[in-house]
Amino acid sequence: MPKKLTKALTPLQVKNAKPGRHTDGEGLHLLVKKSGARSWVYRFMLNGKARDVGLSQCPESIEVLQKTGAKELTLSQARDVAAIYRMKVKAGIDPLAARQDAAAMAEADKKARLAASVTFRAIAETYIAMKEGSWRNPKHRQQWRNTLDTYAFPIIGDMAVGDVETSHVLAILESIWKEKPETASRVRGRIEAILDAAKVRGYRHGENPARWRGHLAQILPARTRLSRGHHKAAPYDAVPDIMMAMRKRKAVAALALEFTILTAGRTGEVLGARWAEFDLGKAVWTVPADRMKAGKEHRVPLSTQAMEVLRQTQQLKSDRVFPGARDRQMSGMAMSMLLRRMKVDATVHGFRSSFRDWAAECTGYPHEVCEMALAHTIGNKAEAAYRRGDLFEKRRGLMEEWCQYCLGTRPEFGQIVPIRASI
């Protein structure tokens, strides 16, 4: 039987060791790489399996190196550390598993300390900075910051994001849930999104205290019971009289409102319009995707009266089609205030509903043509996947009929002009 090696290496042999594995005995080995890098390894048997555990960077070795100020373990020090591991193995302790557990605990402790230092405000700022580039509406971006500044930050802004609980969320929401239901609902959703982001980053664990379904829904009144306003619309048969009264007013806001009604557009689309978006020769207005609610470019066929409005606004000599004071974008309230002065009990956006009701009850145009005129997205995903065109020419006919209706000059049957001359 071969003699068992014990303390086979000398300090000089360690110093001059060539690349390879050098055995000292009792499981201690010196590993030397071709690069000259050295490391001490302890090989042990546990449960019938041989395993290696590195000693050079283990806690015991680091403690020794810190005391001596050295960069590497000496042979004597390596034997002492190996003896500690030998005793652990005899006691049935797996050194590798113990080290992994210790590392996991240290990492968990590190994350806990980090989470304790990360506030809700810090995560919110990071979340907004990451997301706001995809928010096309500047007003929406500002509302995110304003609502958090007003309602959330005073209560949880400086709290560790991992400590936010249901009681804190309720303290924010309960005071405004009935008085400002729409605002409260948005604040709740924004808090939920921020806390979800914190969980993904490892700063929170467990359920989201701002979650509605199955959580806050059990405490706060159901969202359907809260008042939610709709855009009040004028009856479509009142639109011609409104348009007639509007054309008597000499104001850019009146022209903008008339154009909005004629194109069935949204306020932001019209007020943000610039001349570069128009092909007046073809009577087409192309609204870029970044100003559309659905984020998709939209072509608008311009009726004869819509073109007349544009001819009038061209005289304003501005890059904006409907400029406000100091050549800035007109305020969205300008058209609303005009309706109020005219004593019209409707909103600007409500004229889209007036148009839709008229199209459904007074024309034979298909549903999809009317919906596309309003730039509504197709709810059915399968239908949307197969829809390639924008029904532009059909919409041109629809919008011209709407124009004539608004002007009160819709032709009767006896006034229909034949498409082809008689042969």
Helix axes of 392-407 and 350-362: crossing angle, nearest 10 degrees: 100
Which of the residue ranges 180-189, 217-226, 253-262, 301-310 would you say has the lowest mean pLDDT? 217-226
Q: How far is CA 337 from the centre of its chain?
A: 33
Read off the pLDDT band of 413 (50, 70, 90). very low
| CA 7/CA 5 separation, integer angstroms | 7
Q: Does the pLDDT of residue 292 top 80, yes or no? A: yes
At residue 196, the pLDDT reads 94
Q: What is the pLDDT of residue 223?
A: 55
Asked whether the predicted pLDDT for residue 95 surpasses 80, the reply is no
pTM higher than 0.85, yes or no? Answer: no
Q: Over the stretch 248-274, which tens digit does the pLDDT of each residue have?
A: 988 999 999 999 999 999 988 999 999
Inform me whether the pLDDT recorded for 276 exceeds 80.
yes
Residue 135 has pLDDT above 80, yes or no: no
| pLDDT band per the 50, 70, 90 thresholds, residue 112 | low
DSSP codes joined into one string, 318-382? -SBSSB-GGGPBPPTHHHHHHHHHTT--S-TTHHHHHHHHHHHHH----HHHHHHHTTPPPS-HH
Q: Which domains does the chain have, with CATH numbers?
A: 11-114 (3.30.160.390), 120-225 (1.10.150.130), 236-415 (1.10.443.10)
pLDDT at 410 over 60: no
Q: Residues with Cβ < 8 Å from 222, sequence gap 6 or more?
A: none
State the pLDDT at residue 388. Answer: 56
pLDDT for the residue 109: 61
Q: What are the E-state strand segments in 114-232? A: none
pLDDT at 91 over 70: yes
Question: What pLDDT was estimated at residue 409?
Answer: 74
